[in-house]
Amino acid sequence: MTVESHTLASFPGLATLPADALASIAALTFEERHRADALLFNEGDAPGDLYWIVRGHVQLTQRFEGRGTTAVLTLSDGELLGWSALLRRPRVASARALTETVLLRLDASALLELCEQDPRVGYRVMAIAFEEVADRLHATRLQLLDVFGSR
Amino acid sequence: MSARFLPRESLPALVAALRDGRRLLGPRVRDGAITFGELEHVEDLPIGVGDEQSPGRYRLRARADERAFGYAVGPTSLKETLFPPRETLFRAERRADGKVGFVAVVPKPEATAVLGARACELAAIGVQDRVFVQGAASEPRYRARRDALQLVVAVQCTSPAATCFCGDAGTGPRVYGDAADLIATEIDAGLVLEARTEEGAQLLDRLPTRAVADDERVEAERDLDAATTKTHTGRLAIEGLPERLFAALDHARWDEVAARCLACGNCTSVCPTCFCSHAEEAGATAGALEGRSERERVWESCFSSEHGAMHGANPRATTKDRYRQWLTHKLGSWVAQLGTSGCVGCGRCTTWCPAGIDLVEEARALGDGQVSAVALPDAPPPCETPRDEDLVPRAAEVLAITAETSDVVTLHVRDHGVAAEPGQFLQLSLPTIGEAPISVSGVSRAEGFVDVELTIRGVGATTRALTALEAGMELGVRGPYGRGWPLAALEGAPVVIVAGGVGLAPLRGAIRALVEAPDRFPDVRLFVGARTPEDLLYPREMITWLERSHVKLTVTVDHASPGWRGHVGVVTRLLRRSAIPEGARALVCGPEIMMRFTSDALVAAGVTHDRQWLTMERHMKCAVGFCGRCQMGPHLVCRDGPVFRRDELALLGREGF
């Protein structure tokens, strides 16, 4: 079952969209609940859907041959999960719910089609995804700089 | 008081009167320069010797007359007398059982008189007084030498050099006020003398003087007027110069001057006001544990790569950074720190610069621009009742040691000093090894003593030795020093605390205060970032914080270990996703880069700069504003910080400060 427009409007980046645009995104958005430890997607999976985390913690992990599976990032309330869906690329990390988690799942193929048809939606969705990716890039740099390490 | 005249042939009487039970310092020719030294006879004075100075050049020359004070200034000033280039602060001993002892070394200088001080030199003593005796702390060694300076006869300068600009600096060539006991102006026939103090008047009474003839008065005034005109070069406008220099931090001229500067430190050595110093353990005789050493203070220059370096890295990495630091400090932030310019216009830095860099020319070119967006704070007024700062540690006993992580321990120390406030720091030392500033991470007061917790990461020789201490051993402690967290300013408001790595340690005292007082601090949100789960400090204590309903705690690590189910990611991301309540105030501590990005994230979350406090790390060597090592633009971090409100830190994130 798809969600109501007002559910989407609670996400900051979407609140400014006109009602009809929100409604068309809502029409391709589904709410999902996952128990703790549920695997949401796996590194290397074929291109999937885009998620928004309503509530809960999701851990992204990467396989590191010889070192096991390494957690690289934790995502939480209000954050975008699975941005690679917008590029129609295979998953670059695995996602697992750490807690009971409520997600909004956006049908990525349908969303991309909507983005093409309605530039208001297209611009907004890409702007949100771009901001998320930019933040993660910046945060990854700080992780790489090892700012808490001793010299 | 009316002026009197001392004929040239009676100069020996002046020398004798000044030497009456005192050491007399005055100008002498030595090694091809006129320098301050001990005078025994009139013949020791540079009679008939003048000087020629220009950028990078100093030469003595024969004068056509017999004047004894017919030169400008030499490379030395009275700085060497009051603040010697090397001196012992205390003797330290450590016994085989780990007990330590410290004995102050304070000189008992002999009574001293000075003949021939210039107006610029007297002004320079006034500037150094602001550093050593008029701050919150007073340096007893400097004070002893200062007090021993019983009689000063100034000779007003009538032979300024081409490099002189005391007129522009407002310090000379005439001597104003009671900076000297007796003021002399030399003319061919002798000295026109005027007493400015009671001691000066008594001295004058003992000299074979006579009334000043009109033509003698006219000659003296004419020469002084000429010197006044010459030293008002008009090349340097002092008014507003600090703001103009700080407006020019990105000026291309810094690169040009840095290309000429050899970073040799000559300018800071000859400067009569430069006060920066280093301190080191000298004469160490060390066994496995026991040993003796003396802590020596040595002049240091902001041009040295050592000065200000922390863990081997200098925040002012390049010659450009260091030249900019020197000039913006001397002519700019000195005013913000000490209420006076650091420049008295003597021109020594220009004369003795081997590259001939002209301070006035550089300051004029650089300070030509617009007034700054960098707000320079007002200096604290001179302290009426400075505490006596002897720089000597007291012994304190290690009660217990807690291993926190692989390279971090917490020392539990019983101290008999004043209890530190959260955010303040202590100077911890070990004989033969060294001293390090360490933030207090917990304090409990008791009758007659204070138990202090000090969380230390072993990164250098001193901190590694401190982390290797065992229960029952002792260490040296000085302090507490600095400004701590503004707990009163947080009352009633939601408080956000962001800690990164060992940055949690300086915050722990504040967190404990907040955790224990929900009525005053009803909403406390802690965000803690660490490198790995194993690097997290105080995990057991964190759990007790979480038990309090007014406290929320989120922990994140940059690199997860297998099995870690907590957050992974940099600590700034936690702020982004958490709704920060309206009116929140924030305390932040961690590496500077982490604090910068945290500060930005807080602003994005609605916490403006005037509601954020950060604790800065600079190399705090003396901890009381004497050594100049912990400067950050207008601030002495040891004195004005280490906790700053974010809007006080205009230079945060700017390279080279």
pLDDT at A9 (0 to 100): 81
Q: What is the mean pLDDT of residues B588-601?
A: 95
Cβ–Cβ of A147/B569 closer than 8 Å? no
- B305 to chain A, closest Cα gap in Å: 18
Beta strands across the sheet bearing B190-195: B33-38, B23-30, B112-117, B149-156, B182-187, B190-195, B4-7, B210-211
Give the pLDDT of residue B584.
96
- The CB density around residue B605, as the number of other CB atoms within 10 Å, is 17
In this prediction, residues B254-281 reach a mean pLDDT of: 96
- CA B603 to CA B117: how far, in whole Å? 54
Instruction: Using an 8 Å CB-CB cutoff, list chain B residues near A143.
Output: 558-559, 569-570
Query: Is it the case that residue A151 has pLDDT exceeding 70?
Result: no
B517-522 contacts: CB < 8 A, separation 24 or more? B518/B548, B518/B549, B518/B550, B520/B491, B520/B492, B521/B490, B521/B491, B521/B492, B521/B495, B521/B550, B522/B492, B522/B494, B522/B550
What string of H, E and C letters represents the secondary structure of A85-105? Answer: HHHCCCCCCEEEECCCEEEEE
Please tell me which residue, B316 or B387, carries the higher pLDDT value: B316
Chain A residues whose CB is inside 8 A of the B501 CB are: 147-148
pLDDT at A1: 64
- Provide residues of B within 8 Å CB-CB of chain A: 311-313, 407, 457, 459, 500-502, 529-531, 535, 556, 558-560, 562, 564-570, 572-573, 576-577, 590-591, 593-594, 597
Cα-based angle B263, B269, B271 (whole degrees, multiple of 5): 110
- Are the beta carbons of B558 and A143 separated by less than 8 Å? yes
- Average pLDDT rounded to a whole number, residues B407-433: 95
DSSP 8-state class, residue B648: G
Longest dimension (CA), chain B: 97
Which is nearest to B514 in space by CA: B553, B550, B546?
Answer: B550
With beta carbons under 8 A apart, name residues in chain B contacting A59: 565, 568
The pLDDT, as a whole number, for residue B370 is: 67
Across B478-489, average pLDDT: 96
Q: What is the mean pLDDT of residues B172-185?
A: 93
Asked if A139 and B569 come within 8 Å (Cβ–Cβ), the reply is yes
Q: Name the residue of chain B whose CA is nearest to A75's CA.
A: B567
Contact A71 B564 (CB under 8 A): yes
Q: Kind and range of the H or E element at A134?
A: helix A119-145
| pLDDT computed for residue B381 by the predictor | 86
**Mean of the pLDDT values across residues B134-147?**
93
Instruction: Assess whether pLDDT exceeds 80 at residue B508.
Output: yes
* Euclidean distance between CA atoms B161 and B158, whole angstroms: 10
Q: Does A146 sit within 8 Å of B558, measured CB to CB? A: yes
Put simply, the answer to whether A142 touches B531 (Cβ < 8 Å) is: no
What's CA B539's distance to the chain center, in Å?
38
Answer yes or no: do A77 and B564 touch at CB < 8 A: no
CATH 2.60.120.10 correct for A5-145? yes
Between strands B23-30 and B112-117, the pairing is parallel
Cβ distance B501 to A57 less than 8 Å, yes or no, reads: no
What is the phi/psi pair of residue A144, to 5°? -65, -35
For residues B116 and B146, the answer to whether their CB atoms sit within 8 Å is no
CA distance B534 to B557: 9
**Chain B: residue whose CA lies nearest to A11:** B577
The pLDDT value given to residue A74: 95
Q: Do A147 and B502 touch (CB under 8 A)?
A: no
Across the range B174-179, mean pLDDT stands at 91
Q: Quick one: closest CA in B to A58, which residue? A: B567
Could you say which of B562, B565, B568 has the minimum Cβ distance to residue A73?
B568
Give residue B372's pLDDT: 60
Q: Which pair of tokens denotes residue B64?
A: 């056509």
Q: Where are the alpha helices (DSSP H) in A15-99?
A: 19-26
Q: Do B313 and A68 touch (CB under 8 A)?
A: no
User: Cα torsion for B176, B182, B185, B188, to the nearest 10°?
Assistant: 180
Q: Point out the least confidently predicted range of A14-28, B119-133, B367-381, B396-410.
A: B367-381
| Whole-number Å distance between alpha carbons of B580 and B559 | 25
pLDDT grade, residue B287 (50/70/90)?
low
Q: Is the predicted pLDDT of residue B89 greater than 90, yes or no? A: yes
Task: With cut-offs at 50, 70 and 90, classify the pLDDT of residue B28.
Answer: very high
Instruction: Indicate whether B1 pLDDT > 70.
Output: no
Strands B449-457 and B434-446: antiparallel
3-state SS assignment for residue B622: coil
Residues of A with CB under 8 A from a CB of B: 57, 59-60, 68-74, 76-79, 98, 135, 138-139, 142-143, 145-151
Average pLDDT, chain B: 93
**Are B568 and A72 an interchain contact pair (Cβ–Cβ within 8 Å)?**
yes
Percent of chain B with pLDDT over 90: 84
d(C-alpha B95, C-alpha B290), whole Å: 4
| Among A54-68, B13-27, B71-85, B179-193, the least confident range | A54-68
Chain A closest-CA separation from residue B179 CA (Å): 50
pLDDT band at B288 (very low <50, low <70, confident <90, very high): low
Structural domains of chain B sorted by starting position, each given as residue range(s) with its CATH number in brackets: 4-86+105-231 (no CATH), 241-366 (no CATH), 393-481 (2.40.30.10), 487-615 (3.40.50.80)
Quick one: closest CA in B to A62, which residue? B560
Residue-level pLDDT at B563: 84
Q: Give the contacts of A133 (CB within 8 A, at least 6 positions apart).
A: A83
B594:A74 CB<8 A: no
- Chain B: residue nearest A131 by CA? B576
CA B315 → CA B342, B459, B583, B589, B630, distances in Å? 22, 17, 34, 18, 10
At residue A24, does pLDDT exceed 60? yes
Q: What share of chain B is helix, strand, coil (3-state, %, to 5)?
A: 30, 30, 40
Say what the pLDDT of residue B86 is: 97
pLDDT digits (tens, 9 = 90+) for A105-137: 999 999 999 999 999 999 999 999 999 999 999
